[in-house]
Structure 1
Amino acid sequence: MPLTHRQRHQLRAKLGGRLLAVCYGAGVDSTAMLVALKLAGLRPRIITCADLNAEKQLTLDHLDQMKLVLARWDWPPITMCRKKTLPDTGYDDLYGNCIANETLPSLAFGMKSCSIKWKQKPQDAAIKGARSGPNAAPPHPIWLEAQRTGRRIVKLIGYDCSPADIRRSRNLPEADADFDYEYPLQILGWARPNCVDIITEVLGADHVPVKSACFFCPATKLWELFWLAAHQPDLLERALYLERNALSGRHSRFDEVEFGASWEELVHNADRFPSSNTTVGLGRNFAWNQWARVNGVVDDNFRVKRGAADRDRFLIMSNRLRGDDNARDARSVA
């Protein structure tokens, strides 16, 4: 029994009999959260997942796997939530938004507006519905029941007991006007390795997902960049273009006086960017284009090298830098 009697009791005491809505991120934590709910005999009424049109292929494959799992459990299917834009907007996803506005995702500047706009609000709309506009849709039955009965909908978030996730959950309200918020993994006291273990035991090691994130996410680590170069070079090239488009575009925050050269000159000719408070690229304090050039990931035209020897080198560097990051992430396997 992967859950102890005490753990099962803790989850049921906190969540039993409530209107449960799972926010599914398709990563290790949120997948473990689904497993924990199943083991505790708690069935959510809706499972939402934000579709940013920017996930890596392994994440899409994992979503297909989990759809089959949920069907076997006789649970609600995953509701994929995609923000729709007006026809004359000129883009229909976050990547296109950044390209059109010649900017980086807001996380590169220490903000979270991209997540709110493209993840949180579409998932809220899947529950509450929308009366007008391109995202017009009726409310989900869970929302109608909540309005009819006065009961509160509980959004379940897959934050674990790592220090970073503990900080995130503490900085969030316990409730807002529409939802209460609970963190089942923190109720259980699980950190990332516990999540990997429970997925492996209940669903199998092939159901342990990679870390879910946009391929151009500013929080990407160096080992993940090497992994992306090896496995999906086309996505890395798109990310590099997004960065060049922003840092040399009309809204560039780059101060040529401070750095002594243009952003493009430093990318091509310098070994590193000078230390600065200015965001210099997708890595905030480093440019992905600079990293790719210095590490021989790209050619002179910033095309990712695709030879067998190059791919092997990228994989070696990825595994060397990765260490124990993200528990036993499947990306450690070539």
Structure 2
Amino acid sequence: MLVALHAAGIRPDVITFADTGGEKPETIKHLDLMNTVLREWGWPLIDVCRKIPLASTGYADLYGNCLANETLPSLAFGMKSCSIKWKAAIQDQFLKGAKSGPNARLPHPLWISTRAANERIVKLIGYDCGPADLRRSKAPKRPDDDFDYVYPLQLVRWTRRDCVKAITWALGADMVPIKSACFFCPASKQWELYWLAANHPELLERALVLERNALTGRHSRFDEVEFGATWEELVRGADRFPSTSTTVGLGRSFAWNQWARVNDVVDDDFRVRRGEADRARFAMMSDTLRDHDNALDSRTPGIPIVVIPAAEQMDLAL
């Protein structure tokens, strides 16, 4: 999105990124790389927003929140409260300020100036032109929302693969980032689990611990009576779960622990295999299963020639 805005000559006033505490190391590193680019452009640097929980909770991030409450991220149950709480709300507070609590802060000068002028801040969201993001952008907004929303990548009709090409052309192939997501995100695909096993086995192990903690904990939705065995027994001994509408793991319809066992990603103690041959196999499986529109795919040069109509440029600039 920043590449598209720069090509159109549209400079944002504020750039924010919400860090849940569970981002992959490559994503955090990419923030520094992008700040170098932004300095060269003379643009504002990225403001990293991070929720600070009450000290009494005993945790500092989303992973700790799930672990302490013996539950999975809400996306595992088809909800989005983790994203709202740890991403959207904290970025709103960065602009609007907060009067009390550990996240207390003064309103951003942009918020103050726009309110004084009886104007509204326009949030530019990086939803692309793929089917999933098109659905997200059409979701109804709250009628009392304090912001207006524009989706620049959809205005220029870029799919994710177009975005990969655009970043490669404008900044170089090394600047194409991996998808920003928690290492324990329930939306992860199996190629991403293999990628995690190959590159960050310690993070995959933490995700497996989180899943076992939740599905054997006090809030587990797994019905032992219905399935004739405990969740852990099925993970260790069965090749698959019985057909069920019950959330059975981080994969919603499958358990990451069972996936790891069946595919020989872990040993009997659910420790990720770290041998050179194992990690090479995981990397190969990740490459084999990855879709063509993922940022880790081939980064061929060239950028789609897309003309942004003047009227749409004006909409973006508001």
Give me the TM-score of the superposition, normalised by structure 1. Answer: 0.87
Counterpart in the other structure of 2:91:
123
Q: Does 1:217 align with 2:171?
A: no
Counterpart in the other structure of 2:117:
149
Q: Does 1:171 align with 2:139?
A: yes
User: What is the percent sequence identity of the aligned residues?
Assistant: 68
Query: How far apart in 1 are the matches of 2:83 and 2:145?
Result: 20
Query: How far apart in 1 are the matches of 2:215 and 2:287?
Result: 30
Counterpart in the other structure of 1:315:
283
Counterpart in the other structure of 1:19:
none
Counterpart in the other structure of 1:84:
52
Aligned in 2, Cα 1:201/1:231: closer, same or farther, shift over 3 Å?
A: same
Please tell me the residue identity of whatever aligns with 1:269. Answer: G
Aligned in 2, Cα 1:175/1:74: closer, same or farther, shift over 3 Å?
A: farther
SS at match of 1:88: helix
Aligned-residue offset at 1:320: 1.3
Alignment of 1:82-121 (within 5 A): 82-121=50-89
2:232 maps to which of 233, 251, 264: 264
Alignment of 1:292-307 (within 5 A): 292-307=260-275
Q: Cα deviations across residues 145-192 of structure 1 (Å, max 9, x unaligned)? A: 111101110000001111111111111339743100010011111111
Aligned-residue offset at 1:225: 0.3
Q: Does 1:53 align with 2:8?
A: no
Aligned-residue offset at 1:326: 1.3
Query: How far apart in 1 are the matches of 2:130 and 2:28?
Result: 25
- Matched-pair contact (CA < 8 Å) for 2:179–2:295: no
Q: Does 1:204 align with 2:163?
A: no
- Matched-pair contact (CA < 8 Å) for 1:208–1:330: no
Query: How far apart in 1 are the matches of 2:290 and 2:155?
Result: 29
Give me the TM-score of the superposition, normalised by structure 2. Answer: 0.91
Counterpart in the other structure of 2:311:
none
1:286 maps to which of 236, 246, 254: 254
RMSD, aligned α-carbons: 1.4
Query: How far apart in 2 are the matches of 1:328 and 1:98?
Result: 29
Aligned in 2, Cα 1:254/1:156: closer, same or farther, shift over 3 Å?
A: same
SS at match of 2:163: helix
Counterpart in the other structure of 1:7:
none
Counterpart in the other structure of 1:25:
none
Query: How far apart in 1 are the matches of 2:147 and 2:297?
Result: 32
Counterpart in the other structure of 1:275:
243
- Matched-pair contact (CA < 8 Å) for 1:211–1:329: no
For structure 2, the residue ranges without an aligned partner over 5 or more in a row are 300-318
Aligned-residue offset at 1:324: 1.5
Counterpart in the other structure of 1:3:
none
- Runs of 4+ with deviation above 4 angstroms: none
Query: How far apart in 1 are the matches of 2:143 and 2:109?
Result: 21
Count of aligned pairs: 299
